[in-house]
Amino acid sequence: VTFMPESPRHLVNVGRNEEAYNALCRLRNPKPQSELDKQRVGMELSEIYFSHETGLGPERVSFRELVKEWFCARVKGIARTPHRRIHPLSFSVLLHTMYQCTGINFIMFSLPSLAESDEALSDPLVIALVFSFVRLCATPMYMLIFRKLGQRRTLFFGGLAVSSCHFLIAIVDMAVGLTHEEFVVNRVQLVFMALFLFLVASSWAPAVWIITGEIPCTATRSRDIGISAGVHWLWAIFASAYTPYLIEIEWIRRSAIFLIFAFLSLGSCLFAYYFVPETTFRSFFSANTYACLRT
């Protein structure tokens, strides 16, 4: 972080245009630049200037004004129109909520209790290493997938795959009552949970944060991202609180919980299909303008 250049957009907002140009040159091409590279940097910097002039800059919009504008949109009923337009702040909050509906936190918190029945994986360090390695391998896959499918279809098909994984885990859990091979069933469930983490880490986990940074307009981006990130961690705290109780309740089978998350994941797919704008292969300014028109 010490050696990273300052954000060119922030430097433009505070009136340090020459430093913004130098920072953008370092970010785009640290080597000696040709005339073509300088022209590209100049074009991108002009987009930042235009975005600053039209968006008024994040420093000119207070948190109180943002909340007031959002509340007025709720009261007047203009947050959602027949054209599927949602207020950017509402969209960011809903997107993080849909991400939590995939059941990612429930899976993470319930893994230790499920692995206790397996002597080979009863060590928490082994569990953490195995599933961290799965997520590490899945993240580069996202960079390949979203270039082929785009952000919107990556979320949609990722949600379908996650929902299918929940259904398979629920079916395997139902098999515990039909067979005495509980050890084998738990092993199969752990495999499907590893597949679940791979699917989430290659679709929803990175895409949610990227889209949340693209959707809000320049004037309110920092506030929108801050509020949506706060909602994300509130859901995580809520999941850490209810997961132990769901696991310990005897009259609720684990399969029923996975079925609930399977249907919630389908709801996340519908949200991605109808409300998430496609911003892949667009410049940051172009993606922001297009997303603001859609939301």
Domain of residue 225: give its range: 88-293
Considering the domain architecture, whether residues 96 and 50 belong to the same structural domain is answered as: no
Q: Is the pLDDT of residue 53 over 50?
A: yes
What percent of the chain is predicted at pLDDT more than 90?
1
Predicted TM-score of the model (pTM): 0.73
Considering the domain architecture, whether residues 158 and 203 belong to the same structural domain is answered as: yes
Considering the domain architecture, whether residues 147 and 24 belong to the same structural domain is answered as: no
pLDDT at 130: 80
Q: Return the CA Rg of the chain.
A: 22
Is 101 inside a domain boundary?
A: yes
Considering the domain architecture, whether residues 34 and 132 belong to the same structural domain is answered as: no
Residue 163 to residues 19, 132, 157, Cα–Cα distance (Å): 48, 21, 10
What percent of the chain is predicted at pLDDT more than 70?
67
Considering the domain architecture, whether residues 40 and 96 belong to the same structural domain is answered as: no
Q: At what angle do helices 88-101 and 204-214 cross, to 10 degrees?
A: 170
CB 272 within 8 A of CB 98: yes
Considering the domain architecture, whether residues 127 and 251 belong to the same structural domain is answered as: yes
Q: What is the CATH number of the domain that holds 134?
A: 1.20.1250.20
Model confidence pLDDT, tens digit, residues 259-278: 888 899 999 889 888 888 77
- CA atoms lying within 13 Å on the CB side of residue 233: 5
pLDDT at 36: 72
Average pLDDT over residues 241-251: 69
Model confidence pLDDT, tens digit, residues 175-213: 765 655 666 667 777 788 888 888 888 888 888 888 888
The overall average pLDDT reported for the chain is 75
Model confidence pLDDT, tens digit, residues 56-92: 444 455 556 556 655 565 545 544 444 445 667 788 8
244: Cβ contacts below 8 Å, ≥ 6 apart: 109
Q: How many domains does the chain have?
A: 2
DSSP 225-277: HHHHHHHHHHHHHHHHHHHHHHHH-TTS-HHHHHHHHHHHHHHHHHHHHHH--
pLDDT at 2: 79
pLDDT at 253: 67
Considering the domain architecture, whether residues 31 and 94 belong to the same structural domain is answered as: no
Considering the domain architecture, whether residues 171 and 119 belong to the same structural domain is answered as: yes
Higher pLDDT, 76 or 169: 169
